[in-house]
Amino acid sequence: MALKTVICIGMAGSGKTTFMQRLNSHIRSNKKKTPYVINLDPAVLKIPYGANIDIRDSIKYKKVMENYELGPNGAIVTSLNLFSTKIDQVIKLVENKKDKYDHCIIDTPGQIECFVWSASGSIITESFASTFPTVVAYIVDTPRNSNPTTFMSNMLYACSILYKTKLPMVVVFNKTDVKNADFAKEWMTDFESFQQAIQEDQNGDEFGMGSGYMGSLINSMSLMLEEFYSQLDICGVSSYTGRGFDEFLDIVDKKVLEYEDFYKTERERILKEKEEKEKERKEKSLNGLMKDLKIDNNRTGTKEDNEEAEVVSDIEEGDYDGLVDRDEDEGIEREYTFAAEDRLSGEINDGTADLQKRYQQAFEKTGKKASSETAENIAKYIRN
Ligand SMILES: Nc1nc2c(ncn2[C@@H]2O[C@H](COP(=O)(O)OP(=O)(O)OP(=O)(O)O)[C@@H](O)[C@H]2O)c(=O)[nH]1
């Protein structure tokens, strides 16, 4: 079976690290295989499992705080940023071992937003997801989420992660040795029972929900969440006792199939769309640059480009005085890079040779160093 990645994400204290420890030992004893383990939490003091890759080996969190004069969260983001610059090497390391392992499990920082909403978090997630089938395990502290409002907030967070990562997700209700997750399963499948829980909560809390505003907000949000729930799988586990881990691994296998059938194609489609948009954007800005340089596009441009280029050459002699019309009350005196004689000499349709001559003159006026740099930059731009 091909190697799959499980990224563990969850609010601070939800039990990610303990879950990782249990998952690690469960795979070892039940599947008779070791998982490939990665720790991405730079701030953790001790991890209760052996990691194949540990961010702390390459980045010293306290040094990052000192050197960059950052607070704890800024230092986590910066550490992840530094780590993400080497992500291709990390992926290569995992790829080299892909025949030896079935699971690659990844622990993330407790400060969930540092990972989920940072550029480096996206780069790391994307890099894994584009190389291996990847599933997000969203860990929830079950006892702490037995209040319907807290539950709703947590589910909204999970929802935003699902839509951001566009990866299959399993919501893992952890700590079921303390509180059974049946209530959560019921709330997620039966809207009326969730409404009733809200009502009961409202009646008992005269300050928070008593106004009715909170209740109606939650009611309308929960309707939206119904759509989200339909895309999820849920599972109750206890990282202390090991209960529910067989079911969790079965769900991961099911989610991998979903990844292959739906998410992979969807991701490829989005990537292709992005590439095409980027190509279009580059073409547009190149055409814009050509137009700025007043190079005739007719020889190379597309039909639309040529039509646009015609608009420029359509301007009659005399229309062009080198100035753009401005509002009367604008009040700001305009400043120009070139002297008036340079601006107004030559016509808008003058050829490339003439244009080059004018640039040459302008370059000589503005200094040799600057001119060669500018020319180089333009050349670089066109090559790109
Ligand atoms: N009863 C019970 N407690 C648990 C379970 N899993 C974790 N805990 C406890 O929950 C607390 C937080 O667990 P961690 O594994 O450190 O949580 P975390 O999400 O990694 O924490 P941060 O990375 O600091 O956000 C610890 O006191 C754990 O002992 C569980 O299944 N049952």
CATH for 91: 3.40.50.300
User: Ligand 1 centroid to 114 CA: how many Å?
Assistant: 19
Mutate to test the pocket of ligand 1, among 157, 176, 239, 245 (most ligand atoms within 8 A of CB): 239
Domain-embedded: residue 165: yes
Domain-embedded: residue 39: yes
Residue 176 near residue 236, CB atoms below 8 Å? yes
Does residue 297 have a pLDDT over 70?
no
**Amino acid symbol at 259:** Y
What is the sign of the dihedral through the CA atoms of 204, 208, 212 and 218? negative
Ligand 1: residue whose CA is nearest its atom 8: 15
pLDDT, one tens digit per residue, over 201-235 is 777 655 544 456 766 776 677 777 888 888 889 99
Domain-embedded: residue 146: yes
pLDDT, one tens digit per residue, over 8-24 is 999 999 999 999 999 99
| Atom number of ligand 1 nearest to Cα 174 | 31
Number of Cα atoms under 13 Å in the Cβ half of residue 190 = 9
**The pLDDT of residue 332:** 44
Give the separation between CA 59 and CA 114, rounded to whole angstroms.
16
Domain-embedded: residue 89: yes
Domain-embedded: residue 133: yes
Q: Is the ipTM of this complex over 0.90?
A: yes
Higher pLDDT, residue 352 or 310: 352
Range of the domain at 55: 4-179+232-259
What total of structural domains would you count in the chain?
1
Does residue 94 have a pLDDT over 50?
yes
Check if 10 has its Cβ closer than 6 Å to any atom of ligand 1: yes
**The pLDDT of residue 364:** 54
pTM of the model: 0.72
Ligand 1: residue whose CA is nearest its atom 30: 175
Give the separation between CA 91 and CA 327, rounded to whole angstroms.
56
Give the separation between CA 153 and CA 303, rounded to whole angstroms.
52
State the distance between the two ends of the chain, measured CA to CA, in whole angstroms: 41
**The pLDDT of residue 212:** 66
Q: Are strands 103-107 and 134-141 parallel, antiparallel or unpaired?
A: unpaired
Domain-embedded: residue 107: yes
User: Ligand 1 centroid to 19 CA: how many Å?
Assistant: 8
Nearest to 23, CA basis, from 170, 232, 179: 170
pLDDT, one tens digit per residue, over 120-172 is 898 999 899 989 999 999 999 999 999 888 898 899 889 989 888 889 999 99
pLDDT, one tens digit per residue, over 326-342 is 445 544 444 433 344 44
**The pLDDT of residue 261:** 82
Task: Report percent pLDDT > 90 for the chain.
Answer: 32
Check if 39 has its Cβ closer than 6 Å to any atom of ligand 1: no
CB count within 10 Å of CB 97 equals 12
Torsion of CA 348, 350, 351, 352, to 10 degrees: -60
Domain-embedded: residue 352: no
User: Ligand 1 centroid to 51 CA: how many Å?
Assistant: 18
Number of Cα atoms under 13 Å in the Cβ half of residue 196 = 8
Domain-embedded: residue 358: no
For residue 331, report the phi and psi dihedrals to the nearest 5 degrees. 75, -5
Tokens of 39: 């720790």
